[in-house]
Every structure is written in C-alpha cells, then in structure tokens.
C-alpha cells in the first residue's frame, strides 16, 4: 500500500470553495489506489483571531489555556474537510491529536513531537478511509493539549511521514514553490526546482517563510523528500532533498530576508572567560533563541557583547540583559528593533572564492552599512538597517543571482 501524505495550509482551507478544491485533490490520489493522510491547518485568519481574543482577556495569557483555545482552529478544519470528502462519495475520518497519539513534550505554545502512535492511522487506511489529521497540535503524556508553535503544521506532516516510513510529503500552500528571493519584492525572482536540505534550512532560518526550519530539519534527519507546491496550480513545485553533485553548479541559490529581528548590546562588562557562558545560559533558560553573536574588546579588560533575537523575544531578552548588566557591572544596555537580516545562500559557495567580498561590495555600492556579519560554508548573513532591506536584496539578486541561472 503506497502511502501519500499531503499538508494544506490556512489559505488552502480559507472557505468552502477552497475546502472542496482540497477534497477533490485528495480524492484524486485515493482513486489512484493510494492510501492518503491529510494534515491541515486552521483556516486563514482563525489563529490570529483566537490570539486576539486571548489578548482581549489577558495581556499575558496562560500558555496552557492558549493551547487549549488554539487547538480548536485545526479541529474545525479537519471536520469540514472530512465532511467535504464524504459528500463527494469517498470515505474520510478526522481525528484530533489525542485520538491518534501525537505525543509531545510539555513546552506549551512551542512543543516538540516525541512520538506518534501510527496503529490507529494504519487501521483506518487499511479500511480504505482517508485520514484527516490536525497540524500544529499534540498532547503530552498526561493528556495536556499542546501547540507546536510557528510552522507547526509543516512539522506535524513530516513527523507523520517519519512515523509511517513515507518517502515524500507534499506541502500545499499559496505559492508555486521556493523562490530565489521574495517574488513580491524582487520581480525577477525565479522558482527553484530542487534545493538541498541544508540550503532550505538556511533559507528558512534566514526568513523565507514557505517552510519552517523545524520541518526541514526533521525531513533531513529521516531523508524524507518534501514537495512544496501550490494548492491552486497543477505544476510541479520545489523538491527539497539530499544534496546532489549537480546542485553545486549554482554558486548562489537565493537571498532571504527577515525584518522581524532585534539587536541587544551589553556594554563594558568584564572580559572573563565564563561571562559569555553565564549570559547565554540565562537567555537559553528563558527559551529565547539567539542568532548572531559578536564580542568586541573595548580596552581596560572590558568587552561589549551584542546578539540578535526574534522581535517577539525582544522585551524579555532586554529585561534579562538589564539584569546581566548589573551583575557584570556593565555601563549600558542598548536595544534596536530597526534592523533587518539579509542572507545569501548556496551550497556552491563552498567551492567558490570571494562571494562574501562580492556581497560586501554590492552593499557598499548601494551605500548600505553593515552592522554585523555571520558566515558559514553556504550562508553569508548581514545585519543592516530595516529601511535598506528592499534595496539590499534587490541589488544582491540583480548582481549575483542573475549570473547563475543553472539553479
């Protein structure tokens, strides 16, 4: 029995017509003799609406209660899709996470999947039914409802693929695939047919929102292909898979951006070997992810430490940094939300010299100042002023990516 797993996002489930469109796609695969599992998100706008309702009641709502409420969005979607499929003459059944045993840790609003009990899912597939499951949610071993956080539905689909030994998971969204840049900003951005796990991880981590990095990470660990494609178009999208030799022909794969970042600096603290350990342990204990870190020596055995966080973690990180400044007798803490991160990505950079120099030259020619830099063998990331990000990615795409059309 060939198993196919399809995931549909909120825009694909936006209204009755969209749901019927999804149902027809699902039925088409079932009538080809495949066993079909469908993972769906809440309808477009529902999660935002529920979050807004929570904020109307509490400025700092309980994370447990927030998960209880947010889980209802996906529950509506799975039921509506099952109804649509049954109405069209095929057999479908929907289950919430608790019913099929999607087990997570206890980290409310940002839980991680630990295990999936595939027995019930397989039993229904063997009966010829299409199984509809919610993305974004799970339960703890104590039956507490959890939400997986941003990109959780993609992660749910890949995790189910792992549990059922699938070779590929189809992720349906409102775009045709992964592009060399955001096509809403860069008019000549082009769709990428194939991209490696490593490149997609860098693209997702750098701000490309078509796939969440957790889902790509899980797929890479288990060698599951991801086919990212549009719900509203029949064309082949982008295949995310293991790196191949032919991929190295392209020096630059894409340029991504993230304008939801913030920078924090703690100035003039003592230069001791364990200070950095303490600082970033405190930040990690608050479950805040840190991006780029720099340390500058400023004389008199003093250093300035700067780091980048997601904008949503800015206030918490700033408060922690104020306490750290006092502990280490620093002279100031500075915060800056007026920044953007731009990233140039491509596995071909591993074997090509001078890419960083080209990037810096392009930005300099546009009079764009670089505040911080981070590099790896396949990624060059720069922190710049937010006001400059459109000019920056457009210039880089024009001057670098247009040279390499093999991708």
Residues in the chain: 407
The full set of domain ranges for the chain reads 3-174, 255-401
Buried b (16+ CB within 10 A) or exposed e, 200-224: bbbbbbbbbebbbbbbbbbbbeeeb
What tens digit of pLDDT does each residue of 33-62 get?
999 999 999 999 999 999 999 999 998 899
Just give the CATH number of 3-174: 3.40.1160.10
Mean pLDDT of 281-307: 91
Residues 6+ apart with CB under 8 A from 221: none
Q: Where are the beta strands (DSSP E) in 88-237?
A: 92-94, 102-104, 113-116, 130-134, 137-139, 145-147, 168-173, 194-196, 225-230
pLDDT tier at 245 (50, 70, 90 boundaries)? low
Nearest-angstrom CA–CA distance, 322 and 300 = 22
What φ, ψ does residue 327 adopt, rounded to 5°?
-65, -40
Match 């918490």 to its residue by tokens.
Answer: 316
Q: Which of 359, 343, 41, 9 is nearest to 201 (CA)?
A: 343
Nearest-angstrom CA–CA distance, 295 and 379 = 20
Give the lowest-confidence range in 243-247, 329-333, 350-354. 243-247
Is the predicted pLDDT of residue 267 greater than 70, yes or no?
A: yes
What confidence score (pLDDT) does residue 407 get?
Answer: 39
Mean pLDDT of 255-276: 92
What tens digit of pLDDT does each residue of 84-122 get?
999 999 999 999 999 999 999 999 998 999 999 999 999
What tens digit of pLDDT does each residue of 170-227 get?
999 888 899 999 988 998 899 999 999 999 999 988 888 788 888 999 999 999 999 9
What confidence score (pLDDT) does residue 406 get?
Answer: 43
What tens digit of pLDDT does each residue of 223-233 get?
999 999 988 88
Class of domain 255-401: alpha beta
């Amino acid at each position: 029995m060939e198993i196919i797993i399809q995931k549909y996002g909120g825009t694909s489930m936006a209204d009755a017509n969209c749901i019927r469109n999804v149902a027809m796609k699902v039925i088409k695969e079932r009538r080809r003799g495949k066993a079909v599992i469908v993972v769906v998100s809440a309808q477009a706008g529902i999660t935002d609406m529920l979050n807004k309702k929570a904020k109307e009641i509490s400025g700092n709502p309980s994370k447990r209660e927030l998960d209880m409420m947010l889980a209802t969005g996906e529950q509506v979607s799975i039921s509506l899709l099952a109804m649509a499929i049954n109405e069209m003459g095929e057999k479908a059944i929907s289950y919430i996470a608790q019913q099929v045993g999607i087990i997570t840790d206890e980290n409310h609003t940002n839980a991680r999947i630990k295990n999936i009990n595939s027995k019930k899912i397989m039993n229904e597939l063997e009966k010829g039914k299409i199984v509809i499951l919610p993305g974004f949610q799970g339960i703890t071993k104590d039956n507490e409802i959890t939400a997986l956080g941003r990109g959780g539905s993609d992660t749910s689909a890949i995790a189910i693929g792992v549990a059922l030994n699938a070779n590929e998971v189809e992720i349906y969204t409102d775009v045709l695939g992964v592009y060399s840049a955001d096509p809403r900003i860069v008019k000549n951005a082009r769709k990428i047919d194939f991209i490696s796990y490593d490149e997609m991880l860098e693209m997702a981590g750098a701000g490309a929102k078509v796939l969440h990095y957790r889902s790509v990470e899980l797929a890479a660990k288990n060698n599951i292909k991801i086919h990212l494609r549009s719900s509203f178009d029949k064309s082949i999208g982008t295949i995310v898979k293991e790196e191949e030799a032919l991929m190295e022909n392209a020096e630059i794969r894409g340029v991504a951006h993230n304008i939801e970042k913030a920078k924090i600096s703690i100035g003039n603290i003592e230069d001791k070997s364990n200070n950095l350990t303490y600082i970033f342990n405190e930040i990690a204990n608050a479950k805040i992810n840190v991006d780029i870190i720099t340390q500058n020596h400023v004389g008199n055995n003093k250093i300035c430490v700067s780091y980048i966080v997601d904008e949503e973690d800015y206030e918490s990180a700033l408060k922690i940094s104020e306490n750290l400044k006092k502990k280490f007798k620093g002279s100031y803490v500075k915060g800056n939300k007026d920044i953007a991160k731009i990233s140039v990505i491509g596995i071909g950079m591993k074997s090509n010299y001078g890419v960083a120099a080209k990037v810096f030259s392009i930005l300099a020619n546009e009079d764009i100042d670089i505040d911080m830099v981070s590099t790896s063998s396949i990624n060059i990331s720069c922190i710049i002023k937010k006001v400059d990000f459109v000019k920056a990615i457009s210039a880089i795409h024009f001057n670098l990516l247009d040279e390499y059309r093999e991708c």
